[in-house]
Each structure stands twice: as C-alpha cells, then as structure tokens.
A and B are shown apart, each in its own frame.
Chain A
Amino acid sequence: MIGTIIKRVFVQDLRNRSNYVYFLILPVSLMVILGLVLQGTFATQLDSKVAPVHVQYVVDHSQQAQLFDKMVKHADIAHLDFKSQRDLARAKHVVRTQSNTAIVQFGTTATVQTSKGLNDYQTILLKSSLAAIFRQMGLVQTAIHYRGKLATVSTKKLVKVNHVQAHQSATSFQYYALAMMGMFMLYFSEVGLDMFGKARRQKTLARELLTPVTRGKLLNATVGGHLLFGMLVIGVLMGITTGLFKMPWSRALGFTLINFSGLMALFLIIGLLMDTINSRVGSGIVQIVIQLVAFLGGGYFPTSSTMMQFSPLGWIMGPMRSALWTTSSLDWSGAALNFGLAFGLLILVNWIIRRREVF
C-alpha cells in the first residue's frame, strides 16, 4: 500500500506542469541570466583566455619519481594537462613541433622544457604549479618517513597549497548554478503546502482515509513520493548544469546529492507543517522564510559566513563549494542538520495529524 501511494504521488508530480516551471525552466534560466550578468565577478578575465598547456612528463624509477607520477595523476589543475611519456625523444619532438606543450623530466633533479610561444600566464601557471607539487612532495615525504600524526598535519597544509595554486575557482555560471539549485530546493515548501491541500479540495483525501491505510502511512508515504520526485529534480538539474556550465558534480556526486536532498526534505516538510497548522497563514509565512533563507544563505549574492550560519541554505553551500572546488575533506554537518530538522518536523506533523479528528 505504501508503494502504491508513493507511486501515485510521484506520477502526479511528474504530470504536474507547474513543477516543470518551478524546478526546471525557472532555475535554469535564472542560472544563465545571473551567470551572464555577473560574469567576471568570480573569475579573472585572464583566466578565461588561457589555452591549455599539454605537459608530458618523463620519470625514472626512483621513489621520488614515482611519487611525482602519483601526484600529477591526481592533480586537477586548470589549463594544465599532464600526460606520462616514456619516450624522451618523442616528447622532445612534440615540444619542437607543437605549440602549447612542455616536458617535465623528473629524476633526482627536475628539468622543464617548453615549446616556443607560451604566454606569460601559461609559463607562470606551469612554474607555480610545479613548484607547488615539488613542495607538496617534500611534505608528503616527511609524512611518509615519520607516519602517524605528521601525515594528518601535512595533509592540511597540502590542501592549502593546492587550493591557492591549483586555480580551480568557480566560474560565475558555476557559482550561480550551485546557488540557484540550492535556492529552488526552498520552493519545495510550496509542494509541501499543497501536499494535502489539493487532496482535500478534490476530496480524495477523505476517500483514501476510508481504505485500510492508516493516517500515518498515508502521510509518510505521500511525503516519500514527493521526496523521490525531489531527488529526481536534483539529478536532472545536476545533469543540465553539467552540460551547460561544466559543473564538476562528479568530484563529489553523492555528497552534493545528499546535501541538496536534505535541504529539499526540510523545506518540503516545513511547507507541510505550515499547511497542517494553518494553510492560509502558512503560505505567507513560507514565502517570508524562503526569501530570508535564500538571502542569508547566499542565494542571491555571496554573503558572509556569519550570515550563512543562520540559513539552512548557507549550512550546505559552504561545504558543497569546498567539496567541489577544493580538496579539503567533506563537511557533512549541514546535511546532517537539515535532515535532522526535517525528521523532527515530520514527527511533529505526524503527532498533530494523529490527534486531530479531521486529517
């Protein structure tokens, strides 16, 4: 019976045209518009004009060389494209004949050779990145030598170096794609507000309550159906933003999906709670909450971390940005907080509904 209800709700959500406006057309067009308007605020002009440099690296079998090989393989540096090359003569031939190429020959010492005509920015980028990698190698080696606690300490430093040097800052489009997706999760409160409102108007709710399904099951399965739909919305938006803005979701796919889902669940249930208490006043309150949470959480423009502390949107924006554009460890606190609150409020709604004569 629960499956029957979840399926019915999901199908209804899929067929509801206003959902396509709210959760597809509106967010994507806002991402494009705001991204265009604010282009240049988040990325340097220079950045976007740089052609990628193809770096071939040749390593011998020393321990250090193997470490270099490992680090380079995991480095994801904008505009630098590392490829291992065994044949030095062939690598040299490439550098002589093709532009935007370089060789890093790494053994006990390192030698760098570049093709002619690399611009200043490309040269600086290559040199600074290599310097950062070498520095990290020194730290990592220390950690390897001593193991234990030192490894943790050095990892944190690595992150810092990497973050500054790796040059992976978000483009304005990417910044807004993330913020808009977060913001439109707030609009799931509208779905929550009308979760049973429509069923009451259509009288189908009373009809469902005449069947052997209990109130609690009906309530929670209906919430479940909308949650499933919400997760589909998140997945689709992730797909679209990957295509349109090259959003690097793949760097933290599970993490971002869960973070968005937590926010979506919370607002779905906030809407439901407001409707349960008083549908007329509820929809007004929900509108205010959405605007406040969006503003404080950086939905419209970047806000300070203090402001973000007061917004469920802010709770997940920081951790998600870190997850996507730095290599620091994942911060689950925002998602946990949102899911925890959502769960608590759902229990409250269950309690209220169970005590009332009319659902």
Chain B
Amino acid sequence: MTASLTDGLVVKGLTKRFGTKVAVDDVSFDIAPGKILGLLGPNGAGKTTTISMITGLLNKTSGSVTLFGEPLTPTNTAIRRRFGVVPQDLALFDDLSAAENVRYFGGLYGLRGPALKNGVDRALAVVGLSEHQNQRPATFSGGMQRRLNIAMALVHQPELIFMDEPTVGIDPQSRNYILTAIEKMRSQGMTVVYTSHYMEEVERLADKIVIIDHGKVIVQGTEAELVNLVTTTKQVSITVAEPKLVNVAPLLAIAGVQQATVQGQELQLVTAVESNPLNQVLMTLIDQGVTVDQVDQPQIDLETVFLNLTGRNLRD
C-alpha cells in the first residue's frame, strides 16, 4: 500500500493557526489512489481549513503535503490540473448558465475545442443536469445547485477530488444521486477525499475514515478498525418475565460470554465482539423456563465511536 501512496495524497503534521486559535493541529493522514477517504468531524473541527491548506488556498502554518508525490507550490500548475475541489459553499456564477459555468472552469483548466465540449457534456451528465444545462443556477433547486457545484469540479477529469460536504442541506433524492455518482467515480479509479458530518454517508462510502475534532485527528482507519478500537466487547440486554428463574452459571459457561448479571427485569450480558453467543444464550434461558420479552443489542456506529472518544455527539 505504501508503494502506491506516492500517487495519492500524503499529509504530515499539518497545522494552521489563526492568531492564537489553532484551527488545525498536527493533522496527518494519507490515502491511496482509487480510494475514498472520509474526513469526519463536527462543525468547526477544521475539515475545510485542512482541505484549503492541502489545495493551496490557505498557507500552512507548518506541516507538509504531497499530491501525487509532489509538493504543491504556487507555480506548480501541472499538479493543479490533476485535482479538483468541490467547495463547501456553492461557488457558481449566477449570471452564467449551468453549461457556461462548467465550460468556464474547463477553460481555466486549459481545455479547448472538442476536449472542452466533451468535458462539459460528461460533467453535466454525471450529475444529471444535461437537460437543464442552459438554465441559470438561480432557477435551480438547492439540490440541482449542489450538483452543478460538483460538475464544475469534474470538467477537467481530475485524478483526485476533494469534496467538502457536497450533500449538505439537500433532499434525500439528490443526496443519493450524488453518493452514487461518487461511487461511480471510485470505480473509475478516482481518488476521493470526502468531508461530512453525516456518519451514514461516510460509512457507506469511505474506504478509510479520519475523525477530527478541535483540529486534531482523534482516530483513523477502516470502519471496522475504528469500532474495534473503541471496544472489544458488546453489551446485550435481555428483558425477561421471570428474573428469579435465571441461573447465571450456565450462561457464563457459554464461549464468548464474559459477564452476566441480573438487574430487575433485565439480564445484562457482556460478550466478545468477534463471537456471537446470543443464540446459545437464548436457548439456555428457554431451557431454564424463562420467557424472553425483548433483546436489546445497541449498534456500534461511528456516532458511538465519536461519543466514546470525545464525550460529545457528532452533530450538535
């Protein structure tokens, strides 16, 4: 994996200070080509600032960034042709039509003639705006404007694309359209850096997840790695009708069950994450003549991971 990293993105010790405020604090991560990196964090975590530094819009206070194995300098225009950015805020010319907006940015990336025309047509098709290409963005719904915002970053067919909360504030249909489009991009070999504070999106898309809060990387890895990192055990609570009939000893004998206690109407179990002893537990209880009313097995998701690591909810 490290070998192919030279063609991806490597961020080391990235830091940004605004006066005394440290917006991004020693952030390091990397992503291999053709993968999707999810940058997850609450409002003000430093996601946008991180992307702005990587893409050269803001100066770094310290740290280093290599894109495709090279640092980005103000004069290195060749690298700029290879990546694209979908900004968090809509960035559209409201007095140009959708196609004109896309074409203009194609022109800025040096596309001309048929290459430009093809680029514009393809970008608009990817986001499903071909039929509306001659309309101005003002006549668009919020979701369509978001899609145009994405198309403008696709026109030059970048190898790496940064998407800063591309689905914020839109209807589920448009959102699904966008997520599907991103999956399609990956299947075509594009590398994607995706920021969000919707964990469902990141869970669905990301090959690798970086969680940041207060400018710091809290944890990074695949979804499974993150869940395992938070806990090696699972809590299961079983509500029973006759708690007095429950005999704990045989339950503890089942492989994977680490703890079993009765509290009021509930039997609390702690089990190992890898094993799934629940079926055997239920059968044992039935043998003991216990009626099982309800089984609660809280899902461990990124929200829980985040809550566990920061003591806060992802979305405030």
The interface of chain A, by Cβ under 8 A from chain B, is: 1, 4-5, 8, 11-12, 15-16, 202-204, 206-214, 357-358
The contact sample of 30 A-B pairs, CB cut-off 8 A, is A1-B110, A4-B104, A4-B107, A11-B100, A12-B95, A12-B96, A15-B95, A16-B95, A202-B93, A202-B94, A203-B90, A204-B91, A204-B93, A206-B57, A206-B91, A207-B85, A207-B91, A207-B152, A208-B105, A209-B57, A210-B56, A210-B85, A211-B105, A211-B108, A212-B77, A212-B78, A212-B108, A214-B74, A214-B75, A357-B58
Whether B108 contacts A5 by the Cβ 8 Å rule is: yes
Whether B107 contacts A12 by the Cβ 8 Å rule is: no
| B89 is an interface residue with CB less than 8 A from chain A | yes
Check A202/B105 contact, CB under 8 A, given A8-B96, A210-B55. no
Partner of A207, one of B77, B105, B110: B105
Least distance between A222 CB and chain B CB atoms (Å): 12
Whether A212 contacts B91 by the Cβ 8 Å rule is: no
Whether B80 contacts A210 by the Cβ 8 Å rule is: yes
Chain B 139-164 per-residue mask, 1 if CB under 8 angstroms from chain A, else 0: 00000000000001000000000000
Check A203/B91 contact, CB under 8 A, given A210-B55, A212-B77. yes
> CA separation between A202 and B90, bound complex, in Å?
7
Residue of A204, A209, A213, A358 contacting most chain B CB atoms (<10 Å): A204
Least distance between A357 CB and chain B CB atoms (Å): 5
Whether B91 contacts A1 by the Cβ 8 Å rule is: no
Least distance between B203 CB and chain A CB atoms (Å): 28
Chain B residue at minimal CB-CB distance from A212 = B77
Whether A206 contacts B87 by the Cβ 8 Å rule is: yes
Kindly list chain A residues whose C-beta atoms are within 8 Å of the C-beta of B75: 214
Residue of A8, A203, A207 contacting most chain B CB atoms (<10 Å): A207
Least distance between A15 CB and chain B CB atoms (Å): 5
Kindly list chain B residues whose C-beta atoms are within 8 Å of the C-beta of A15: 95
Residue of B56, B57, B85, B108 contacting most chain A CB atoms (<10 Å): B108
Chain B 94-122 per-residue mask, 1 if CB under 8 angstroms from chain A, else 0: 11100010001101111000000000000
Whether A1 contacts B108 by the Cβ 8 Å rule is: yes
Least distance between B73 CB and chain A CB atoms (Å): 11
Kindly list chain B residues whose C-beta atoms are within 8 Å of the C-beta of A4: 104, 107-108
> CA separation between A209 and B87, bound complex, in Å?
12
> CA separation between A358 and B56, bound complex, in Å?
10
Least distance between B115 CB and chain A CB atoms (Å): 14
> CA separation between A208 and B89, bound complex, in Å?
14
Counted as pairs of residues, one from A and one from B, with CB atoms less than 8 Å apart, the total is 63
Whether B95 contacts A203 by the Cβ 8 Å rule is: no
Whether A210 contacts B57 by the Cβ 8 Å rule is: yes
Partner of A357, one of B55, B59, B105: B59
Partner of B87, one of A207, A214, A357: A207
Chain A residue at minimal CB-CB distance from B81 = A212
* Residues 67-81 (chain B) with a chain A CB within 8 angstroms: 74-75, 77-78, 80-81
Whether B109 contacts A203 by the Cβ 8 Å rule is: no
Kindly list chain B residues whose C-beta atoms are within 8 Å of the C-beta of A209: 57
Whether B58 contacts A358 by the Cβ 8 Å rule is: yes
Kindly list chain A residues whose C-beta atoms are within 8 Å of the C-beta of B87: 203, 206-207
> CA separation between A330 and B280, bound complex, in Å?
105
Least distance between A192 CB and chain B CB atoms (Å): 18
| B92 is an interface residue with CB less than 8 A from chain A | yes
Known: A206-B87, A207-B105, A210-B85. 6 other contacts (CB 8 A): A8-B93, A8-B96, A16-B95, A211-B109, A212-B81, A213-B108
> CA separation between A209 and B58, bound complex, in Å?
11
Least distance between A5 CB and chain B CB atoms (Å): 7
Whether B58 contacts A1 by the Cβ 8 Å rule is: no
Kindly list chain B residues whose C-beta atoms are within 8 Å of the C-beta of A214: 74-75, 77
Kindly list chain A residues whose C-beta atoms are within 8 Å of the C-beta of B109: 211-212
Chain A residue at minimal CB-CB distance from B89 = A203
Question: Nearest 4 pairs between A and B by C-beta?
Answer: A4-B107, A212-B77, A203-B91, A211-B108
Kindly list chain B residues whose C-beta atoms are within 8 Å of the C-beta of A8: 93, 96, 104
Kindly list chain B residues whose C-beta atoms are within 8 Å of the C-beta of A11: 96, 100
Kindly list chain A residues whose C-beta atoms are within 8 Å of the C-beta of B90: 203
> CA separation between A357 and B100, bound complex, in Å?
29
Least distance between B193 CB and chain A CB atoms (Å): 14
Whether A212 contacts B80 by the Cβ 8 Å rule is: yes
Kindly list chain B residues whose C-beta atoms are within 8 Å of the C-beta of A207: 85, 87, 91, 105, 152
> CA separation between A119 and B78, bound complex, in Å?
80
> CA separation between A5 and B106, bound complex, in Å?
11
Chain A residue at minimal CB-CB distance from B78 = A212
> CA separation between A202 and B101, bound complex, in Å?
13
